[in-house]
Amino acid sequence: MTSTAPPGQTPVNERTSPSQAVGGPTPLEEYEASSSTRPPWLLTMTEVKLLGVAGVGFFLDAYDLFIINPVTTMLQYRLYGGNKLPPNLEGFVKAGANIGSVIGQFSFGYAADALGRKAVYGKELMLILLATVLTMTTPTGSLSPDNSLIYLGIFRILLGVGVGGDYPMSASVTSDRANLRKRGTLLAFIFSNQGWGSLIGSLVTIIVLLCYKHVMLDEGKVSKVDGVWRIIVGISLIPGFATLYQRLTMPESQRYKDAVQAEKNRDRDLEKEIRKLEKNQNVETQAMGAHAQPESEDSSSTDSPIGEEKRGEKETAAASADVPEEEQAPEVIATKKDKAHIGEFLAYFSEWRHAKILIGTSVCWFLLDIAFYGINLNQNVVLQQIHFDGSNETEPWTKLFRVSTGGIIITALGFVPGYYASIFFIEILGRKWIQIQGFLLAALFLGILAGRFTELGTVGFIVCFALLQFFFNFGANTTTYCYPAEVFPTRFRAFAHGISAAAGKAGAIISALAFNELSSSVGTPVVLWIFFGVCILGALFTLLLPEVKGRDPDLVYAQEIREDRIRRREMEGK
């Protein structure tokens, strides 16, 4: 989008910085240019606390993703005498959390924009905790095997509602509090908790199995596996309860409170409003413990872990009279997020310039999750290729332990390193470049696996698969989460993020339900070739997206509003 602007001001487009919009450096940019040279990934203690609270949902998401594979294997011995689970019920149990996630992403995303972050944040974690407890109560001893799986799958759907709700909530809460220099890094840090969730899930499984080794292996009490999977599921309650209070008591961000005050402000001077917006953003920077003195972890020592937003409560109150939206300053409309109803959302995205971005974020996430979850929800195929599927083991405990060991190999080699590569390079390379190269390199390694599936040796397969996982995570798996939190204006951010995330989970559901059936009918290499094509499409759809490094979507939206008003006045003048 290129546009005209009043004399002395540069039009705001997707490549225009806030400084260009006002004809000179903003206070935030001046600070960022002159302050400490510490890289964005070196965090202050306040930021660490924020990320610890906001990241727990993604930790639990990945923890659940990992443990459902060994848990379903354990249920084979508890419910079916070691035989495989019915394919339809196994698919239901594995896809249950993703089905619930779609519901949670839509509902919590809309609620966060309509009601405010504070009113909603923490409720999704309460659902996760409740569903986890109910999952542990699965009455395997009193229900039939099939009904036990149905019971488990139903409460995994509820678990998914909470996990899905965490996507737009944590993304919006973090993006609202982040300055431009660190925004992508903070979001990537939050999402990296998926890597730790997978790693801890595999470690917990191994440790609990070791504790049960004597009773299961030496004494032959295989039924005790019922206790193993319940303990593994229940341990996820610890980080959830540890952060629940902080979520429920987190105040609104300073940006939110200023936006509500500004909604009643009659002052419509453009330059004054833009500078006020940027000044508020600078306040956020100081509140996050990143002031130019240089950055000190103790600079907000008087604040609560997430309560630094209270610094701005004594700002000058705006005029109390209500002002019609048509008469409000563009910057007011761009940043307010109370009562962003569905009609406003639809009006905004009815324009192609906005709709194409939502299509891009949603389709890219959808395509990514088809391949990513198709691989990671069906790791039995991978474990078989690296000889860690336990197929040669006769004892149930030995098989379970070997499967868990193979899982930790996969996680350690690809998951965690990929996430941290994104953290270190996201502010250097930008989101668009990382996403495109991630899709293309994932396609490359999927093509190698598909073409040489039966010829690769164990070492070759492990190396190729580890690189595939690395470029999933140093690529689209991270950036598809970051993009919606950075590209959409505050007013529509949470709901747009929820829609994008729900599209991703829809891809995960399709892949989880179809992978096994397709593999048995056409062969695993053909399925991998399908994933190859999906990744190529993902790289192409990324071209719909602007680069968001250093881009303030609220200023872009404010400029669009101002241009529309000028255009309407010119039309009326004619």
Residue pLDDT, tens place only, 408-425: 877 777 777 889 999 999
Q: Which residue has the higher pLDDT, 324 or 535?
A: 535
Nearest to 92 by CA among 139, 138, 149, 148: 149
Q: Three-state SS for 16?
A: coil
Name the token pair of 282: 């600078």
* Cis peptide bond N-terminal to 25, omega within 30: no
pLDDT in tens, 230-262: 999 999 999 999 989 888 888 776 655 555 454
CA 148/CA 146 separation, integer angstroms: 5
> What integer pLDDT is reported at residue 349 of this predicted model?
93
547 is a domain residue: yes
How many of the other CB atoms lie within 10 Å of CB of 275? 18
Task: Please report which confidence band the pLDDT of residue 521 belongs to, taking 50, 70 and 90 as the band edges.
Answer: confident
Q: Which domain holds residue 486?
A: 45-251+351-553
CA 264/CA 383 separation, integer angstroms: 60
CA 320/CA 246 separation, integer angstroms: 32
How many domains does the chain contain in total?
1
Q: Which residue has the higher pLDDT, 270 or 43?
A: 43
148 is a domain residue: yes
278 is a domain residue: no
Q: Using a pLDDT cut of 90, give the percent of the chain over it.
A: 36
Residue 500, domain CATH: 1.20.1250.20
Name the token pair of 212: 């049960």
Taking 50 as the threshold, does the pLDDT of residue 22 lie above it? no
Q: Are the CB atoms for 343 and 287 separated by under 8 Å? A: no
pLDDT in tens, 64-87: 877 888 898 899 999 998 888 888
CA 509/CA 164 separation, integer angstroms: 13
Q: Are the CB atoms for 477 and 192 separated by under 8 Å? A: no
Nearest to 166 by CA among 112, 115, 99: 112
137 is a domain residue: yes
DSSP string of 430-452?
-HHHHHHHHHHHHHHHHHHHHHT
430 is a domain residue: yes
Cα angle: 432, vertex 433, 439; to 5 degrees? 90
Task: Please report which confidence band the pLDDT of residue 21 belongs to, taking 50, 70 and 90 as the band edges.
Answer: very low
Name the token pair of 83: 């035989």
Name the token pair of 138: 């699965």
In sequence order, the 6+-apart residues with CB closer than 8 A to the CB of 453 are: 385, 524, 525, 528
> What integer pLDDT is reported at residue 326 of this predicted model?
58
pLDDT in tens, 181-215: 889 999 999 999 888 888 898 899 999 999 999 99
Name the token pair of 547: 């680069």
SS (H, E, C) 281-343: HHHHHHHCCCCCCCCCCCCCCCCCCCHHHHHHCCCCCCCCCCCCHHHCCHHHHHHCCCCCCHH
> What integer pLDDT is reported at residue 300 of this predicted model?
36
Name the token pair of 141: 């001893």
Task: Please report which confidence band the pLDDT of residue 23 belongs to, taking 50, 70 and 90 as the band edges.
Answer: very low
Tell me how many helices (H) and strands (E) the chain has. 27, 0
CA 349/CA 122 separation, integer angstroms: 29
Tell me the CA distances in angstroms from 276 to 27, 177, 211, 361, 506, one per residue in order: 10, 16, 59, 30, 41
> What integer pLDDT is reported at residue 432 of this predicted model?
96
Burial 183-211 (b: 16+ CB within 10 A, else e): bbbbbbbbbbbbbbbbbbbbebbbebbee
DSSP string of 152-165?
HHHHHHHHHHHHHH
CA 269/CA 409 separation, integer angstroms: 59
* Highest mean predicted confidence (pLDDT) among 325-339, 371-385, 407-421: 407-421
261 is a domain residue: no
Nearest to 349 by CA among 499, 563, 503: 499
Amino acid at 474: F
Residue with tokens 């060991």: 405
> What integer pLDDT is reported at residue 571 of this predicted model?
79
